[in-house]
Amino acid sequence: MITLEGAGRRYGEVMALQPLDWQVQAGEWWGVIGPNGSGKSTLLQLLSGVEAPSCGTVTVAGRNIRKHSRKELARFIAVLQQEGLPATSFTVREVLEMGRYPFQGWLGREPHDPAPLLDSIMEKLDLLVLQNRPVDELSGGQRQRTALGKVMAQQPTLLLLDEPTTYLDIRYQLQFMEMVSQWRQESGITIISVLHDLNLAAQFCDKLLLLQDGRAAGAGPPQDMLTEERLREIFGVDTSIVSHPSNGSPQVLLTASPREAQKRE
């Protein structure tokens, strides 16, 4: 599905992402985690084709990503940013219709009526009753569901998520991740998501790629990547790792430093 061979990105004198070798198989869900400035967003920009690697190659579906046209990439890759959707007067349905752009001809039409597909997506995401509402009248959770509906309408093979739950409360964070998980189960889509919440990453991702200072610091299943020693080395914090009581995934408990603990006493 995706292969990086020595792919890196430099901005001036700064090497934001050191040469990286990495493979993602079809149908996998990878989480990319690491401190701020570790190269996570830079990696997504290379994977989406927005930025060209300064060294090495990024291969998507057996072909160098730079050889795909923008419309070809849009038929294969969808990107959902942490901001989701800007405030706009477009309605929910109109936003989902924008997701069909890669399949439209130069007159803005496509061979088959997309209405049944859009109706099905809105039904799954509980958006039917909101379809005529302007986006700028929606709550944060509703707006993020609309953003998800737009990329679902795009029918990609690969979904890139850049911190999609950042501005959501815990209820909508879980709801969003469960909706993405259901979509994956139904379609077999491949997902790569940058996440700050390590516990969400552990529960939903098959594998984790850890980045530190622009370098790969580890890659593998969550139970191998989320260890107390590794997190202390990468994030500089003490943690306790416990198993989730329902699914057994590793969950990270933060441990306050002795100084902070004394302040509360």
- Decide if pLDDT at 259 tops 70: no
| Structure confidence by residue, pLDDT tens digits, 174-222 | 999 999 999 999 999 999 999 999 999 999 999 999 999 999 999 999 9
| Structure confidence by residue, pLDDT tens digits, 21-36 | 999 999 999 999 999 9
Q: Name the nearest CA neighbour of 65 among 140, 1, 146, 112.
A: 1
- Per-residue pLDDT band at 102 (split at 50, 70, 90): confident
Residue written as tokens 């260890």?
227
| Structure confidence by residue, pLDDT tens digits, 84-99 | 687 789 999 999 999 9
Strands 29-33 and 190-194: parallel
| Structure confidence by residue, pLDDT tens digits, 70-89 | 888 888 999 998 776 877 89
Report the amino acid identity of residue 5. Answer: E
> What radius of gyration do the chain's Cα atoms show?
20
Domains, the chain, ranges and CATH? 2-225 (3.40.50.300)
What dihedral do alpha carbons 152, 166, 21, 75 form, nearest 10°? 20
Do residues 2 and 60 lie in contact, with contact meaning Cβ atoms separated by under 8 Å? yes
Q: From residue 185, how far is each of 118, 161, 179, 228 by CA, in Å?
A: 19, 17, 10, 31
Strands 29-33 and 14-24: unpaired
